[in-house]
A and B are shown apart, each in its own frame.
Chain A
Amino acid sequence: MKYEIIFSGIGGQGVILAGSLLGEAAVSCGLRAAQTQAYGVSARGGFTKTDVIISDDEILYPYALTPDLIIVLAEPALLHYLNVSNDNCKVIYDSSIIDASKYDLDKRYFGLPIVEIAKELGSARSANILSLGIAASFIVDISLEQLDNVLEKRFRGKILGKNIEILRKGIELGKSVALTR
């Protein structure tokens, strides 16, 4: 098995963190993972993306060539992924902050109000963790236990509790849109 997942957005949204947490959870489950990132000069605001490759075999090329899933958290990022070559790719964009009506998107694209849901759950800044959950629902071999573990290593106290809740909501959301291959 091999998955190629991209988290994208603008700097400051924590997309790179989401990617590294996913990779770390995969490695904890005995899988291989490679996570790369591309970012501009500004730490805040510019286009940012991370590629996460997860496989049960050695990962050679560490960048996504035929992504299976792209999560898009900001409009500048969507512009990068308007012409995805892989027919089976799913592109999930945040419909609460991106007005997709001006783009001619095919059925591979669908919107989920990611930031809005995160906000409802008490933390708009945890949109990345919600995204992590969505992506995790996609990969059957990553256990919830290991995902919780990586969150516990990264967060403390109230924020940890909130993020664990948001992670679960993300997984549920992901399942609801039937992402599993």
Chain B
Amino acid sequence: MTGKIGFILGNEAIVEGALVSGATFFAGYPITPSSEIAERASRRLPQVGGYYLQMEDEIASIAAIIGASIGGAKAFTATSGPGFSLMQENIGLAVMAEVPCVIINVQRSGPSTGLATKPAQADIMQARWGRHGDHSIIAISPSTVQECFDLIIFAFNVAETYRCPVLFMADATVGHLREGCVLRSKDEVEIINRKRPPEGLDEYYPYKADEDLVPPMATLGGHYLSRFHSSSHNEKGLPTSSPEEAKDLIKRLYDKIEKNKDKIVKYKTFDVDGSDYLLIAFGGAVRAARQAALDAKKRGLKVGVLQLQTVWPFPAEYVCELAKDKKGVVVPEMNMGQIIGEVRKAVPDAIPVVGANRYDGEPLAPYEIMKALDEVLSL
């Protein structure tokens, strides 16, 4: 498969990227518009000695990939809106027990069963806040089929590096998009595997973190006994109700992501230098945003685009830096306005921030972004 160009679906590219990452375990429950991921995983994984498990529901699916990761595999699942809602509790488990795994949500219109076959980006706040309790989370969003492949590898890498779940927030416009995609081989990409404890320790403490705030993860059946715990626990992995230990744990879980933000945040810019206006988008909406910027150029406007490949943690400082000398910002999203709230928090109050939103199940179009840009121009 070295460097082979495939004309494939975004959903298929996700599976190919996962395989290159070394993933050997998928558990899922079919749901539109993510099902092609399950279908391809079911064909490809057993070919490479891996496993595809079709579970009884999405709760079992996320549980099984957490188990598989504890067992030593790189594991992933894929779902869409309703299934993503069902997974939230155990995503919290992966956060608390520090289990690396990748959860793909090919977003569709909601709420509830909504428009099953139609795209949306309306789960991006759920990605951040869907679970109970304080914590940080990593969410990555692709806008092209090539990014489905490249960023899923990045998703596995950050999951392994920081021992945490990573949410891969695709949407139906990208998952069901076919494009040319360079299918890189293992030797052509950087693959990161979880940190293991050194041999010869007197005792292994499963939740004793190194300086990077990440505890090494022992291989089950190897040198050390290991413990994983969903409740507040100490370094030994034993439950504790001590306020100090509880605070230290919650703080570390939060900080290991927030303090490593510069390594986790990935973005792309298009014509931002010297531009007067800025479009900030993620996922499928980036395509419309870039087209709109190009159309605006024909009208003599200087419009740059910031693509958030990593949406969470939100790069507020960078957004502020980029936006501070602009005349206005437009945030195109296929929802009623979710990330725009983060943008508003980040940019100086004097700069107008306007949304370009679509939430009828149809993909956001460039002319709708142009309309929002016109609104900014009129301010």
Q: Could you list which residues of chain A lie within 8 angstroms of chain B, going by C-beta atoms?
A: 20, 23-24, 27-28, 32-41, 59-63, 65
Contact = CB atoms under 8 A, between A and B. Distances in A.
B44 to A, nearest CB: 17
Contacts of B116: 41
Nearest to B288: A61
B178 A35 contact: yes
A41 B288 contact: no
A36 B10 CA distance: 10
The 3 closest A-B pairs by CB, nearest first: A61-B291, A24-B7, A35-B178
Interface string B262-305: 00000000000000000000000001101100100000000000
Interface of B: 5, 7, 116-117, 173, 176-180, 287-288, 290-291, 294, 363, 365-366
A40 B179 contact: no
A36 B366 CA distance: 16
A34 B290 contact: no
A60 B290 contact: yes
A40 B361 CA distance: 12
A40 B366 contact: no
Contact of B7 (A23, A37, A38, A63): A23
A149 to B, nearest CB: 12
A27 B5 contact: yes
A62 B5 contact: no
Contact of A36 (B5, B176, B288): B176
A60 B179 contact: no
A23 B6 CA distance: 11
Given A27-B5, A40-B117, A60-B291, A20 B363 contact: no
B365 A65 contact: yes
A24 B7 CA distance: 5
Contacts of A20: 7, 178
Given A59-B179, A61-B290, 18 more contacts: A20-B7, A23-B178, A23-B179, A27-B5, A27-B7, A33-B178, A34-B177, A35-B178, A35-B179, A41-B116, A60-B287, A60-B288, A60-B291, A61-B287, A61-B291, A61-B366, A62-B177, A62-B179
A63 B363 contact: yes
The secondary-structure label for the interface of chain B is mixed
B173 A36 contact: yes
A63 B294 contact: no
Nearest to B179: A34
B287 A62 contact: yes
Nearest to A20: B178
A39 B179 CA distance: 18
Contacts of A32: 179-180
Contacts of B294: 60
Contacts of B288: 60-61
B292 to A, nearest CB: 8
A63 B365 contact: yes
30 contacts: A20-B7, A20-B178, A23-B178, A23-B179, A28-B7, A32-B180, A33-B7, A33-B179, A34-B178, A35-B7, A35-B177, A36-B173, A36-B178, A37-B176, A39-B117, A40-B117, A41-B116, A41-B117, A60-B287, A60-B288, A61-B287, A61-B288, A61-B291, A61-B365, A61-B366, A62-B173, A62-B177, A62-B179, A62-B287, A65-B366
Nearest to A28: B7
Contacts of B117: 38-41
A33 B7 CA distance: 8
Given A27-B7, A40-B117, A33 B180 contact: yes
A86 to B, nearest CB: 14
A39 B117 CA distance: 7
Contacts of A36: 173, 176-178
A33 to B, nearest CB: 6
A180 to B, nearest CB: 24
Contacts of B177: 34-36, 62
A23 to B, nearest CB: 6
B32 to A, nearest CB: 9
Nearest to A38: B117
The residue in A20, A28, A38, A61 that gathers the most chain B C-beta atoms within 10 A of its C-beta is A61
A37 B33 CA distance: 12
Nearest to A150: B7
A41 B5 CA distance: 31
B220 to A, nearest CB: 42
Contacts of A63: 363, 365
Nearest to B180: A27
